[in-house]
Amino acid sequence: MFQTIGHCTLTASKGGEMNKKTITIAVVLVAFVTTAFMLVGFPYFFRIPLESQKLDYDKQEKGKVVLDSNLVVEFRGDPGWVEFDPPIGAREFLEDRESTREEIAWFPWHEGRSWSKVRYSLNPNRKEIFKPETKYTIKFRNGEKISFETITLPKVVDVYKSNMPPRDFGNIATFNSVLLVFNEEIAWQDDYLIIDPPAAVSTDSQTYSDGRWELFVMPEKRWENSTTYTLTIKQGLKDTFGHPMEEDYSLTFTTEPPVSVVEATPEGTSQSIDSVVKIVFDRAPVPKAGESSFVVTPGVEGKMTWEDETTFVWTPAQKLPYSTEYVLAIGGNESWQDPITAHEWKFRTQDPPVSVEIESRSSSPTTLKVIASGGLSSYSYEWSTGETSEFITAKVPAGETRSFSVTVTSGDQTAAAEILVKGPPLPPPPPTPAPVPPAPASAGGMKFVLSFDDSDGSGGVVSGILDVLAAYGAKAIFFPTGSWAHGAGAPYISRMLAEGHMVCNHTRDHANLTFLSEVGIREQILGGAGVGTCNLLRPPYGSHNAFVDSAAASMGYSIYTWTVDPRDWSGTSVSYITSTILSNASPGGIVVLHMHAGNTLIALPAIIEGLQAAGYTLSY
């Protein structure tokens, strides 16, 4: 029994040892498996989760990244290099100091495994490495991409001025506002506005539906003319999200010069008493500036109107007084309106008009007297004779009518008058014809004498007369005045004599011998032409009497007049001259013609032909 029990005890003891070994092995195995799972399987099957990418988004401008954002992103395994598009600055990759890399695993020996986690921090130092309003894409070597857009910073995107063509700031009106357009709404503060040179301005703003924001900078009164201003918006001005401007914005503009006068009338002296003042400006002024600054001295009532936007007109209420000087001025400084450059000018109204008459007998000799009125009561005179006195003596030769005129000046006014004065009538021809050359030629021929007087006119007529006479073989007697024959007519006298014509005496100055003393008669005859070669004297105007005849006879002269007178000296027509001579010609007759009468030259061929056809010999 004892042994049985002991055997049994031994048997039980061996079985327990075996169970312990089994348990130990199982425990070790479980521990190994557990350890192996924990060391290898658990990190693989139970990976540390990846967190979402982290960017520093603006709290107000939602969905956009601030410029100093730290980008945190996690990957399984090592994604390799990081590339930015567009580049940050001048490079595509971040330097080591601008990024950090962190391995995250359950156990250090898991680091670098494909299932381990890598955390990148890009820009941990929070520098402003991003540009505003830019869409960035971050590319990793493993193909991963991350995209984001940066915030908007306030800036001026456009500028223009009111009521004028946009963006032309070289010549802006002094009342123009400057309008600055920002890309977004601004939390405006006047402290950020600087104007140089300083100017008093006010500001206002307006927001548009597309997000743009407009700032109005308005002069409180006006900008100064011809001034260059610099308008600056200082950096640091913030938008409504609190983002500041990165740099100053400056605009330079120049204001236009003051309005100027380009023409002002009337100006100067002798202006009409009905004058209307007209002022033309180089551009349209503010009407009130023109009207309020216009001054006339001495003062005159009048009406102001505008002919057009650049032309100002002032019309006196009544006629201006004579002989009055006016000083006119417009322009000067205006505190509210654009000024007009000061302009001053003068004009003087005309003096009172002058009227004039000539008082005289109608026949010569007579005294001509000026009767002037009006003007300034003091007068100067200028006669057509060259004389300058109030009275002159008019002497007109017998049978002639001459015009005398005078111009009277008083102040700036003039007036003229004219009068015709007749000379005394021609004396009747003597009852007995004057001595004539020898009787008509023998052989049944008839003689008719062509005679020509004066020639104090055109030498061309004299040459023409000589040419016609030569062409027809006719001879004539010439009675030039001595003053012409011994002066300008000397060449013609030589030709007359060379071509067989006679040159005889017609006094020196064409004087009426009946008005002279015996001494005067002798002086006139001795100064005449043909002295010593011809003893014929033709008294001017045909005027002679017994006294003249006696004086002439004492000097060996015979009076030689005419039987036919067509009065060519008075301008009678060609036909009248021709018909008078041909119808009144008679044997032994004498016609008186004049060397200065143009119609005589024209009529002469027909006269000669008619006389020769009638059988006359033209000689002396």
Span 534-584, pLDDT tens digits: 999 999 999 999 999 999 999 999 999 999 999 998 889 999 999 999 999
- Indicate the DSSP class of residue 507: -
Q: Report whether 591 contacts 563 (CB < 8 A).
A: yes
Banded pLDDT at 274 (limits 50, 70, 90): very high
Percent of all residues in the chain with a pLDDT value above 90, rounded to a whole number: 48
Residue 145 in this model has a pLDDT that exceeds 90: no
Least confident of 167-181, 307-321, 466-480: 167-181
Banded pLDDT at 6 (limits 50, 70, 90): very low
Residue 47 in this model has a pLDDT that exceeds 60: no
CA atoms within 13 A of residue 286's CA, in its CB half-sphere: 20
Q: Which residue has the higher pLDDT, 569 or 114?
A: 569
Measured in residues, the chain has a length of: 620
Annotated catalytic residue: which of 501, 506, 594, 596? 594
Least confident of 30-44, 374-388, 550-564: 30-44
- Indicate the DSSP class of residue 460: H
Which residue carries 């017998």 as its tokens?
398
- The torsion region of residue 364 among left (phi > 0), alpha (psi -120 to 50) and beta comes to beta
Q: Which residue has the higher pLDDT, 335 or 526?
A: 526
Type of residue found at 606: A
At residue 249, the 3 state secondary structure works out as strand
pLDDT of 579 reads 94
Banded pLDDT at 430 (limits 50, 70, 90): very low
Banded pLDDT at 361 (limits 50, 70, 90): confident
pLDDT of 190 reads 94
Residue 38 in this model has a pLDDT that exceeds 90: no
Banded pLDDT at 196 (limits 50, 70, 90): very high
For β-strands 476-480 and 502-503, DSSP reports them as: parallel
Annotated catalytic residue: which of 338, 453, 454, 549? 453
Q: What is the phi/psi pair of residue 11, to 5°?
A: -65, -45
Banded pLDDT at 16 (limits 50, 70, 90): low
Q: Which residue has the higher pLDDT, 78 or 252?
A: 252
pLDDT of 507 reads 94
Residue 67 in this model has a pLDDT that exceeds 70: yes
List strand residue ranges (DSSP E) for 444-493, in order.
Answer: 446-454, 476-480
Q: Which residue has the higher pLDDT, 286 or 315?
A: 315
Mean local confidence (pLDDT), 344-369:
87
CA atoms within 13 A of residue 557's CA, in its CB half-sphere: 30
Highest mean pLDDT among 283-292, 363-372, 423-432, 516-525: 516-525
Residue 587 in this model has a pLDDT that exceeds 80: yes
Mean local confidence (pLDDT), 317-339:
83
- Indicate the DSSP class of residue 301: -
Q: Which residue has the higher pLDDT, 595 or 97?
A: 595
Banded pLDDT at 89 (limits 50, 70, 90): low
pLDDT of 337 reads 66
CA atoms within 13 A of residue 104's CA, in its CB half-sphere: 16
Least confident of 67-76, 200-209, 261-270, 400-409: 67-76
Residue 186 in this model has a pLDDT that exceeds 50: yes
Mean local confidence (pLDDT), 128-150:
82
412 as an active site residue: the answer is: no
Interhelix angle 459-472/490-498, nearest 10 degrees: 10
pLDDT of 444 reads 40
Alpha-carbon distance of 553 to 434, in angstroms, equals 13
Q: Report whether 182 contacts 153 (CB < 8 A).
A: no
Type of residue found at 105: A
Alpha-carbon distance of 570 to 563, in angstroms, equals 18
pTM for the whole thing?
A: 0.49
Highest mean pLDDT among 207-216, 313-322, 566-575: 313-322
Least confident of 30-39, 78-87, 429-438: 429-438
Residue 7 in this model has a pLDDT that exceeds 50: no
Q: Which of 70, 61, 78, 73 is nearest to 146 (CA)?
A: 73
- State the Cα angle at 277 between 274 and 283, rounded to 5°: 155
Mean local confidence (pLDDT), 69-95:
68
At residue 579, the 3 state secondary structure works out as helix
List own/partner pairs for 45-48 with CB under 8 A and 24 or more apart: 47/76, 47/115, 47/117, 48/104, 48/105, 48/106, 48/116, 48/117
506 as an active site residue: the answer is: no
Percent of all residues in the chain with a pLDDT value above 70, rounded to a whole number: 82
Q: Which residue has the higher pLDDT, 336 or 553?
A: 553
Alpha-carbon distance of 305 to 310, in angstroms, equals 11
Q: Going by C-beta distance under 8 Å and a sequence separation of 6 or more, which residues neighbour residue 350?
A: 270, 271, 272, 273, 322, 323, 412, 413
For β-strands 145-149 and 135-140, DSSP reports them as: antiparallel
Banded pLDDT at 437 (limits 50, 70, 90): very low
pLDDT of 393 reads 82
Residue 182 in this model has a pLDDT that exceeds 90: yes
Mean local confidence (pLDDT), 119-141:
80
Mean local confidence (pLDDT), 340-366:
88
For the chain, the average pLDDT equals 83
